[in-house]
Amino acid sequence: MNPALTEASFGPGVLRLMLGDITRVSADALVNAANEGLVGGGGVDGAVHRVGGPQIMKDLALYRARGGCPTGSAVITPGHALPVKWVIHAVGPIWRGFGTQEELLLEDAYQASCALAAEKSCAKVTFPSLSTGAYCFPVEKAAPVALRTVAGELAKGGSMKEAVFVLFDRGTLTAYARALSALK
């Protein structure tokens, strides 16, 4: 049995997994686990707003005025006090046990994030595990969707050359490492 991977190449890009605090990792863009109302929250979203400062919430006012951000989509703001140029606020689905529908919405959220990163010519993008915290998406189901989607974008050879999944706890890192091993 091969040990679980924490790094793999896809086309000209590399996908890495690490344990840590996403708000402390330098990158061109950070993907934030946002909610549809773009009103802030706990987990990754709360940390992004605490570290990034109140200007991020002010920047999101334009999107809130337009109705927020539907599940499966994303919007972008400057990074302000974060060690990134851009914050991509992606809305993953709340897990209700519907399986395929929720997996497709999760894939859409990652694809929308990658598209916004490409629009800004971001070479290094950090990602959390969308929807697996307060939204209760099982990490064992979310990890393969997340990695397959982002690896597919790396393989296309666009501006993104490095995708780093910054995972908050060991259990999530282990699930992602198993999924990455299975993907390779």
CB 89, CB 77: distance < 8 Å: yes
Closest CA to 47 of 30, 29, 67, 70: 30
- Residues with a catalytic annotation lie at 45
Closest CA to 83 of 125, 26, 162: 26
What pLDDT score was predicted for residue 184? 85
Closest CA to 24 of 47, 43, 53: 47
**Strands, E assignment, 13-101:** 13-19, 27-33, 74-78, 84-90
pLDDT in tens, 130-163: 999 999 999 999 999 999 999 999 999 999 999 9
What span, in angstroms and rounded, lies between the C-alpha atoms of 126 and 158? 16
Strand partners, 166: 18
pTM listed for this prediction:
0.95
Domains of the chain are 7-183 (3.40.220.10)
Strand partners, 38: none
pLDDT in tens, 39-90: 999 999 999 999 999 999 999 999 999 999 999 999 999 999 999 999 999 9
